[in-house]
Amino acid sequence: MHELTLAESVVAIAEAAARRAGARRVTRVRLALGLLAHAETDTLLYCCQLAARDTLAADAEFQAERRPAQAHCGDCGQRAEIASLPARCPRCGGENLALEGGDEMRVVDIGIR
């Protein structure tokens, strides 16, 4: 499952950060998911909890937020931020949008103690 692979890397990042800081526990992990990231938010959070078992992040609270993607309209040249799909150009209403980025997943914040 794709989400589980992502979750395992999230937990590995959190554990590595905790070890570097000499912490005993990861208390919180905050993720940013691009609008186009191929991961279901709820599934990913659930997988994080599974992947965190028997790690420093076993009791951590996992949170994820969606980030908008950038788009460039092929019809009128407008650049826009797209927060949901399907999307239309906010200027001309066209659907000829080229999306840029938005498929990233990043760990934005880790709480340790």
Binding-site members are 2, 73, 76, 89, 92
Would you say 87 or 105 has its CB closer to Zn ion? 87
Interacting residue with Zn ion among 64, 89, 110, 112 (CB under 5 A): 89
Identity at 90, one-letter amino acid code: P
Q: How far is the CB of 51 from Zn ion (least distance, A)?
A: 42
User: Applying CB under 5 A, what is the total number of residues that bind Zn ion?
Assistant: 8
Q: How far is the CB of 80 from Zn ion (least distance, A)?
A: 8
Q: How far is the CB of 89 from Zn ion (least distance, A)?
A: 3
Radius of gyration for the alpha carbons in the chain, expressed in angstroms and rounded: 17
Strand partners, 79: 72
How distant is the alpha carbon of residue 37 from its chain centre?
7
For residues 51 to 80, the per-residue mask of contacts with Zn ion, x marking binding by CB under 5 A and - elsewhere, is ----------------------x-xx-x--
| C-alpha to C-alpha distance for 83 and 78, rounded to whole angstroms | 16
Packing angle of the helix pair 2-20, 41-51 (nearest 10 deg): 50
- Residues contacting residue 100 through CB under 8 Å, at least 6 positions apart: 69, 70, 71, 72
Would you say 28 or 88 has its CB closer to Zn ion? 88
Residues that bind Zn ion (CB under 5 A): 73, 75-76, 78, 89, 91-92, 94
